[in-house]
Amino acid sequence: MVERQRQRIEQEMTKMVDEIDKQYLRKMQASMHRCAAKCCDNTDISLERVQQCVEMCSTHLNQSQNYVQKEIEHLQSRLQRCVMQCNDETKDKMGPNPSEAEIDKYTLMFENCAVKCVDTHIGLIPTIMKAMKTVLNKQSEASIVT
Each residue of 83-125: pLDDT tens digit? 999 999 999 998 888 899 999 999 999 999 999 999 999 999 9
The residue segments making up the domain with residue 1 are: 1-143
**Pick from 81, 74, 67: which is nearest to 25 by CA?**
67
pLDDT per residue as tens digits for the range 124-137? 999 999 999 999 99
**Mean of per-residue pLDDT scores for the chain:** 92
Domain count, the chain: 1
Tell me the pTM.
0.84
Give the pLDDT score at 17. Answer: 95
**Pick from 55, 32, 117: which is nearest to 83 by CA?**
117
pLDDT per residue as tens digits for the range 9-23? 999 999 999 999 999
pLDDT of residue 146 exceeding 70, the answer is no
